[in-house]
Amino acid sequence: MGGGGGGVAWRTLGKKWLHSTRALTHTRIPPNSLLSLDLPDVWIPNTNCRFIPSSRIHDVKSGIAGEICRMKNAVGKLPGLAVLLVGKRRDSRTFIRIKIKACNEVGISSFIAELPEDCTEDEIINVISSYNENPSVHGIIVQLPLPQHLDQEKIVNAVSLEKDVDGFHPTNIGNLAMRGREPLFIPCASMVCIELLLRSGVEIIGKKAVVIGRSRIAGLPTSLLLQRHNATVSTIHAFTNNPEQITSQADIVVTDVGVPNMVRGHWLKQGAVVVDMGTNLVKDPSCRQGYSVTGDVCFEEAIGVVSAITPVPGGVGPVTISMLLSNTLDSAKRAYGFT
Protein backbone atom coordinates (compact mmCIF):
# COMPACT_ATOMS: atom_id res chain seq x y z
CA MET A 1 0.00 0.00 0.00
CA GLY A 2 1.42 3.05 -1.17
CA GLY A 3 -0.22 5.38 1.26
CA GLY A 4 -0.09 5.58 4.98
CA GLY A 5 -1.97 3.62 7.49
CA GLY A 6 -4.36 5.50 9.70
CA GLY A 7 -11.50 3.21 13.95
CA VAL A 8 -15.69 2.25 14.73
CA ALA A 9 -13.55 1.35 17.06
CA TRP A 10 -14.37 -2.19 16.21
CA ARG A 11 -11.05 -3.86 16.33
CA THR A 12 -8.73 -3.81 19.29
CA LEU A 13 -5.60 -3.55 17.20
CA GLY A 14 -2.73 -1.30 18.13
CA LYS A 15 -3.38 1.51 20.60
CA LYS A 16 -7.11 1.75 20.20
CA TRP A 17 -10.03 3.14 22.11
CA LEU A 18 -13.52 1.81 21.58
CA HIS A 19 -16.38 4.27 21.30
CA SER A 20 -20.10 3.89 20.78
CA THR A 21 -23.00 5.92 22.07
CA ARG A 22 -25.15 2.81 22.11
CA ALA A 23 -24.43 -0.57 23.66
CA LEU A 24 -24.68 -3.25 20.97
CA THR A 25 -24.07 -6.21 23.19
CA HIS A 26 -24.95 -9.16 20.96
CA THR A 27 -24.02 -8.18 17.38
CA ARG A 28 -22.71 -11.35 15.79
CA ILE A 29 -20.06 -11.49 13.06
CA PRO A 30 -21.63 -12.17 9.65
CA PRO A 31 -20.56 -15.58 8.30
CA ASN A 32 -19.79 -14.34 4.77
CA SER A 33 -17.60 -11.32 5.50
CA LEU A 34 -14.68 -10.40 3.28
CA LEU A 35 -11.87 -11.38 5.59
CA SER A 36 -11.15 -13.77 8.41
CA LEU A 37 -9.95 -11.32 11.03
CA ASP A 38 -10.50 -12.03 14.71
CA LEU A 39 -12.73 -9.05 15.40
CA PRO A 40 -14.82 -8.61 18.56
CA ASP A 41 -18.58 -9.06 18.38
CA VAL A 42 -19.51 -6.15 20.65
CA TRP A 43 -19.00 -2.40 20.75
CA ILE A 44 -17.96 -0.74 23.97
CA PRO A 45 -20.25 2.12 25.12
CA ASN A 46 -18.49 5.46 25.16
CA THR A 47 -19.47 5.82 28.79
CA ASN A 48 -16.92 3.12 29.51
CA CYS A 49 -13.96 3.96 27.26
CA ARG A 50 -10.91 1.92 28.03
CA PHE A 51 -7.44 1.37 26.68
CA ILE A 52 -7.06 -1.81 24.68
CA PRO A 53 -3.66 -3.58 24.68
CA SER A 54 -1.89 -3.75 21.34
CA SER A 55 -1.22 -7.49 21.63
CA ARG A 56 -4.39 -8.41 19.69
CA ILE A 57 -2.78 -7.25 16.43
CA HIS A 58 -0.84 -10.51 16.64
CA ASP A 59 -4.07 -12.52 16.35
CA VAL A 60 -4.24 -11.52 12.70
CA LYS A 61 -0.53 -11.77 12.02
CA SER A 62 -0.21 -15.17 13.66
CA GLY A 63 -2.68 -16.63 11.17
CA ILE A 64 -0.66 -15.22 8.28
CA ALA A 65 2.58 -16.47 9.83
CA GLY A 66 1.08 -19.94 10.21
CA GLU A 67 0.12 -20.06 6.53
CA ILE A 68 3.60 -18.89 5.51
CA CYS A 69 5.16 -21.61 7.64
CA ARG A 70 2.85 -24.20 6.07
CA MET A 71 3.81 -23.04 2.57
CA LYS A 72 7.51 -23.09 3.40
CA ASN A 73 7.25 -26.65 4.68
CA ALA A 74 5.30 -27.75 1.59
CA VAL A 75 7.13 -26.02 -1.26
CA GLY A 76 10.25 -24.60 0.39
CA LYS A 77 9.38 -21.03 -0.59
CA LEU A 78 8.56 -17.78 1.22
CA PRO A 79 6.51 -14.80 0.01
CA GLY A 80 8.50 -11.72 -0.96
CA LEU A 81 7.48 -8.07 -0.78
CA ALA A 82 9.42 -5.33 -2.57
CA VAL A 83 9.17 -1.70 -1.49
CA LEU A 84 10.24 1.30 -3.56
CA LEU A 85 10.92 4.55 -1.71
CA VAL A 86 11.73 7.80 -3.52
CA GLY A 87 13.14 10.70 -1.51
CA LYS A 88 13.40 11.16 2.23
CA ARG A 89 9.92 12.12 3.41
CA ARG A 90 9.79 11.42 7.12
CA ASP A 91 6.26 10.02 7.05
CA SER A 92 7.03 7.74 4.10
CA ARG A 93 10.12 6.38 5.81
CA THR A 94 8.08 5.73 8.94
CA PHE A 95 5.43 3.84 6.99
CA ILE A 96 8.07 1.77 5.21
CA ARG A 97 9.73 0.89 8.51
CA ILE A 98 6.39 -0.31 9.91
CA LYS A 99 5.69 -2.45 6.83
CA ILE A 100 9.13 -4.06 6.83
CA LYS A 101 8.85 -4.80 10.55
CA ALA A 102 5.48 -6.47 9.93
CA CYS A 103 7.02 -8.57 7.12
CA ASN A 104 9.78 -9.74 9.43
CA GLU A 105 7.25 -10.71 12.09
CA VAL A 106 5.36 -13.11 9.83
CA GLY A 107 8.22 -14.45 7.71
CA ILE A 108 7.83 -12.48 4.48
CA SER A 109 11.10 -11.68 2.74
CA SER A 110 11.49 -7.95 2.11
CA PHE A 111 13.34 -6.06 -0.61
CA ILE A 112 13.89 -2.31 -0.39
CA ALA A 113 14.97 0.07 -3.15
CA GLU A 114 15.65 3.67 -2.18
CA LEU A 115 16.06 6.29 -4.89
CA PRO A 116 16.95 9.99 -4.52
CA GLU A 117 14.35 12.76 -4.67
CA ASP A 118 15.57 13.91 -8.09
CA CYS A 119 15.57 10.50 -9.79
CA THR A 120 13.91 10.05 -13.17
CA GLU A 121 10.81 8.07 -14.10
CA ASP A 122 12.94 5.71 -16.16
CA GLU A 123 15.12 4.91 -13.16
CA ILE A 124 12.07 4.06 -11.08
CA ILE A 125 10.45 1.98 -13.83
CA ASN A 126 13.69 0.06 -14.31
CA VAL A 127 13.63 -0.92 -10.63
CA ILE A 128 9.96 -1.93 -10.86
CA SER A 129 10.69 -3.98 -13.99
CA SER A 130 13.44 -5.87 -12.18
CA TYR A 131 11.02 -6.72 -9.37
CA ASN A 132 8.35 -7.72 -11.90
CA GLU A 133 10.77 -10.27 -13.33
CA ASN A 134 12.09 -11.51 -9.97
CA PRO A 135 10.33 -14.80 -9.07
CA SER A 136 11.16 -14.28 -5.39
CA VAL A 137 9.07 -11.07 -5.32
CA HIS A 138 5.31 -11.60 -5.12
CA GLY A 139 4.22 -8.11 -4.14
CA ILE A 140 5.48 -4.65 -5.12
CA ILE A 141 4.52 -1.38 -3.45
CA VAL A 142 5.51 2.11 -4.51
CA GLN A 143 5.40 4.32 -1.44
CA LEU A 144 3.21 7.33 -2.17
CA PRO A 145 3.20 10.25 -2.57
CA LEU A 146 5.99 10.60 -5.12
CA PRO A 147 7.87 13.86 -5.82
CA GLN A 148 5.85 16.23 -8.01
CA HIS A 149 8.10 15.96 -11.06
CA LEU A 150 7.21 12.28 -11.45
CA ASP A 151 4.16 10.84 -13.24
CA GLN A 152 2.60 8.84 -10.42
CA GLU A 153 0.04 7.19 -12.69
CA LYS A 154 2.68 5.94 -15.10
CA ILE A 155 4.87 4.59 -12.31
CA VAL A 156 2.09 2.80 -10.42
CA ASN A 157 0.84 1.27 -13.67
CA ALA A 158 4.29 -0.23 -14.28
CA VAL A 159 3.74 -2.70 -11.44
CA SER A 160 2.74 -6.13 -12.73
CA LEU A 161 -0.96 -6.89 -12.27
CA GLU A 162 -0.07 -10.18 -10.57
CA LYS A 163 2.14 -8.36 -8.02
CA ASP A 164 -0.08 -5.33 -7.42
CA VAL A 165 -0.73 -6.11 -3.74
CA ASP A 166 -1.77 -2.49 -3.19
CA GLY A 167 -4.65 -3.05 -5.63
CA PHE A 168 -3.94 0.18 -7.52
CA HIS A 169 -3.45 -1.25 -11.03
CA PRO A 170 -6.08 0.06 -13.50
CA THR A 171 -7.29 -3.48 -14.18
CA ASN A 172 -7.80 -4.17 -10.48
CA ILE A 173 -9.64 -0.86 -9.97
CA GLY A 174 -11.64 -1.39 -13.17
CA ASN A 175 -12.73 -4.89 -12.15
CA LEU A 176 -13.70 -3.54 -8.75
CA ALA A 177 -15.98 -1.02 -10.46
CA MET A 178 -17.73 -3.62 -12.65
CA ARG A 179 -20.40 -5.98 -11.44
CA GLY A 180 -19.64 -9.62 -12.14
CA ARG A 181 -15.89 -9.11 -12.12
CA GLU A 182 -13.42 -9.57 -9.30
CA PRO A 183 -10.01 -7.88 -8.97
CA LEU A 184 -6.95 -9.90 -8.07
CA PHE A 185 -6.37 -7.47 -5.20
CA ILE A 186 -8.53 -4.88 -3.44
CA PRO A 187 -6.81 -1.80 -1.94
CA CYS A 188 -6.08 -2.73 1.64
CA ALA A 189 -7.48 0.31 3.49
CA SER A 190 -10.79 0.11 1.62
CA MET A 191 -11.10 -3.60 2.24
CA VAL A 192 -10.57 -3.06 5.97
CA CYS A 193 -13.09 -0.20 6.03
CA ILE A 194 -15.89 -2.38 4.64
CA GLU A 195 -14.89 -5.34 6.78
CA LEU A 196 -15.10 -3.25 9.94
CA LEU A 197 -18.60 -2.15 8.99
CA LEU A 198 -19.73 -5.69 8.19
CA ARG A 199 -18.29 -7.28 11.28
CA SER A 200 -19.69 -4.60 13.55
CA GLY A 201 -23.21 -5.19 12.37
CA VAL A 202 -23.47 -1.81 10.64
CA GLU A 203 -26.22 -1.92 8.04
CA ILE A 204 -24.89 -0.75 4.65
CA ILE A 205 -27.70 -1.68 2.26
CA GLY A 206 -29.77 1.39 1.39
CA LYS A 207 -27.89 3.66 3.78
CA LYS A 208 -26.52 7.07 2.81
CA ALA A 209 -22.73 6.99 2.75
CA VAL A 210 -20.35 9.89 2.17
CA VAL A 211 -16.72 9.34 1.22
CA ILE A 212 -14.59 12.44 1.68
CA GLY A 213 -11.71 12.19 -0.78
CA ARG A 214 -11.37 10.28 -4.04
CA SER A 215 -7.78 9.05 -4.03
CA ARG A 216 -6.83 5.79 -5.68
CA ILE A 217 -5.39 4.67 -2.33
CA ALA A 218 -8.62 4.73 -0.32
CA GLY A 219 -11.37 7.15 -1.35
CA LEU A 220 -12.21 5.83 -4.82
CA PRO A 221 -12.05 2.09 -4.04
CA THR A 222 -14.02 2.62 -0.81
CA SER A 223 -16.78 4.32 -2.81
CA LEU A 224 -16.83 1.37 -5.22
CA LEU A 225 -16.98 -1.17 -2.41
CA LEU A 226 -19.80 0.69 -0.65
CA GLN A 227 -21.73 0.66 -3.92
CA ARG A 228 -21.15 -3.08 -4.23
CA HIS A 229 -22.80 -3.38 -0.84
CA ASN A 230 -25.75 -1.30 -2.09
CA ALA A 231 -25.19 1.92 -0.19
CA THR A 232 -26.19 5.24 -1.75
CA VAL A 233 -22.79 6.89 -2.05
CA SER A 234 -21.79 10.55 -2.39
CA THR A 235 -18.17 11.62 -2.87
CA ILE A 236 -16.87 14.88 -1.41
CA HIS A 237 -13.89 16.47 -3.16
CA ALA A 238 -12.19 19.84 -3.57
CA PHE A 239 -14.89 21.15 -5.93
CA THR A 240 -17.90 20.03 -3.89
CA ASN A 241 -20.27 22.78 -2.78
CA ASN A 242 -21.61 22.65 0.79
CA PRO A 243 -19.63 19.59 1.91
CA GLU A 244 -20.80 20.06 5.52
CA GLN A 245 -24.45 19.87 4.49
CA ILE A 246 -23.96 16.73 2.40
CA THR A 247 -21.91 15.02 5.09
CA SER A 248 -24.41 15.86 7.82
CA GLN A 249 -27.03 13.71 6.07
CA ALA A 250 -24.86 10.59 5.93
CA ASP A 251 -25.37 7.44 7.98
CA ILE A 252 -21.79 6.35 7.19
CA VAL A 253 -18.88 8.75 6.74
CA VAL A 254 -15.45 7.71 5.47
CA THR A 255 -12.61 10.23 5.27
CA ASP A 256 -9.40 10.13 3.25
CA VAL A 257 -8.15 13.68 2.64
CA GLY A 258 -5.07 14.20 4.81
CA VAL A 259 -6.33 17.44 6.40
CA PRO A 260 -6.09 17.36 10.20
CA ASN A 261 -9.42 17.79 12.01
CA MET A 262 -11.20 18.96 8.87
CA VAL A 263 -14.44 17.18 9.74
CA ARG A 264 -15.94 18.86 12.81
CA GLY A 265 -18.71 17.65 15.06
CA HIS A 266 -21.37 19.78 13.36
CA TRP A 267 -20.60 18.06 10.04
CA LEU A 268 -21.91 14.78 11.41
CA LYS A 269 -25.40 13.35 11.74
CA GLN A 270 -26.44 12.18 15.21
CA GLY A 271 -25.67 8.47 15.43
CA ALA A 272 -23.56 8.33 12.27
CA VAL A 273 -20.73 5.81 11.89
CA VAL A 274 -17.32 7.29 11.01
CA VAL A 275 -14.26 5.58 9.56
CA ASP A 276 -11.28 7.95 9.63
CA MET A 277 -8.54 6.83 7.25
CA GLY A 278 -6.57 10.06 7.51
CA THR A 279 -3.06 9.98 8.94
CA ASN A 280 -1.59 13.42 9.48
CA LEU A 281 1.61 14.49 11.20
CA VAL A 282 1.03 17.68 13.18
CA LYS A 283 3.77 19.68 14.91
CA ASP A 284 3.53 19.10 18.65
CA PRO A 285 6.38 20.30 20.89
CA SER A 286 4.96 18.29 23.79
CA CYS A 287 5.72 15.02 21.97
CA ARG A 288 9.18 13.48 22.04
CA GLN A 289 9.23 13.18 18.23
CA GLY A 290 8.15 16.81 17.84
CA TYR A 291 4.88 15.83 16.18
CA SER A 292 1.68 13.95 16.87
CA VAL A 293 -0.56 11.91 14.59
CA THR A 294 -4.17 12.89 14.00
CA GLY A 295 -6.94 11.97 11.60
CA ASP A 296 -9.20 13.96 9.28
CA VAL A 297 -11.99 14.03 11.89
CA CYS A 298 -11.93 16.14 15.04
CA PHE A 299 -12.15 13.14 17.33
CA GLU A 300 -13.03 15.01 20.53
CA GLU A 301 -16.02 16.68 18.89
CA ALA A 302 -17.16 13.63 16.95
CA ILE A 303 -17.47 11.22 19.86
CA GLY A 304 -20.29 13.32 21.31
CA VAL A 305 -22.32 12.91 18.13
CA VAL A 306 -21.56 9.63 16.39
CA SER A 307 -22.49 6.08 17.32
CA ALA A 308 -19.02 4.77 16.49
CA ILE A 309 -15.72 6.11 15.19
CA THR A 310 -12.23 4.83 14.44
CA PRO A 311 -9.41 6.61 16.26
CA VAL A 312 -6.13 7.78 14.75
CA PRO A 313 -3.60 6.35 15.36
CA GLY A 314 -4.49 2.73 16.01
CA GLY A 315 -7.71 2.44 13.99
CA VAL A 316 -7.69 1.37 10.37
CA GLY A 317 -3.90 1.47 10.01
CA PRO A 318 -2.76 -1.68 11.85
CA VAL A 319 -5.33 -3.88 10.12
CA THR A 320 -4.42 -2.33 6.76
CA ILE A 321 -0.82 -3.45 7.21
CA SER A 322 -2.06 -6.97 7.93
CA MET A 323 -4.09 -6.93 4.71
CA LEU A 324 -0.95 -6.00 2.78
CA LEU A 325 0.75 -9.06 4.27
CA SER A 326 -2.29 -11.19 3.42
CA ASN A 327 -2.34 -9.97 -0.20
CA THR A 328 1.36 -10.76 -0.52
CA LEU A 329 0.78 -14.25 0.83
CA ASP A 330 -2.11 -14.78 -1.60
CA SER A 331 0.10 -13.67 -4.48
CA ALA A 332 2.80 -16.14 -3.48
CA LYS A 333 0.27 -18.96 -3.16
CA ARG A 334 -0.97 -18.19 -6.66
CA ALA A 335 2.57 -18.14 -8.04
CA TYR A 336 3.48 -21.47 -6.49
CA GLY A 337 0.11 -23.15 -7.03
CA PHE A 338 -0.21 -23.66 -3.30
CA THR A 339 -3.60 -23.88 -1.58
Q: Which residues are catalytic?
A: 99, 143, 166
Question: What is the bridge-based pairing of β-strands 109-115 and 139-142?
Answer: unpaired
Give the ranges where the chain is alpha helix by DSSP (H). 57-75, 90-106, 121-133, 152-157, 170-177, 188-199, 219-228, 243-247, 299-302, 316-336
Closest CA to 316 of 13, 42, 2: 13
How far apart CA 165 and CA 143 sit, in angstroms, is 12
> How does strand 109-115 pair with strand 80-86?
parallel
d(Cα 14, Cα 18) in Å, to the nearest integer? 12
d(CA 5, CA 316): 7
Q: List % helix, strand, coil for the chain (3-state, nearest 5).
A: 35, 15, 45
**How remote is the C-alpha of 281 from its chain's centroid?**
17
User: Residue 9, CB half-sphere, CA atoms under 13 Å: how many?
Assistant: 30
* C-alpha 186: how far from chain center: 10
d(CA 213, CA 324): 21
Does residue 145 have a cis peptide bond before it, meaning omega lies within 30 degrees of 0?
yes
Rounded CA-CA distance 187/169 in Å is 10
Distance of alpha carbon 11 from alpha carbon 185, whole angstroms: 22
User: How long is the chain?
Assistant: 339
Please, are residues 62 and 83 in contact by the beta-carbon 8 Å criterion?
no
Q: Whole-angstrom Cα distance, residue 74 to residue 153?
A: 38
Residues 258/296, Cβ–Cβ less than 8 Å: yes
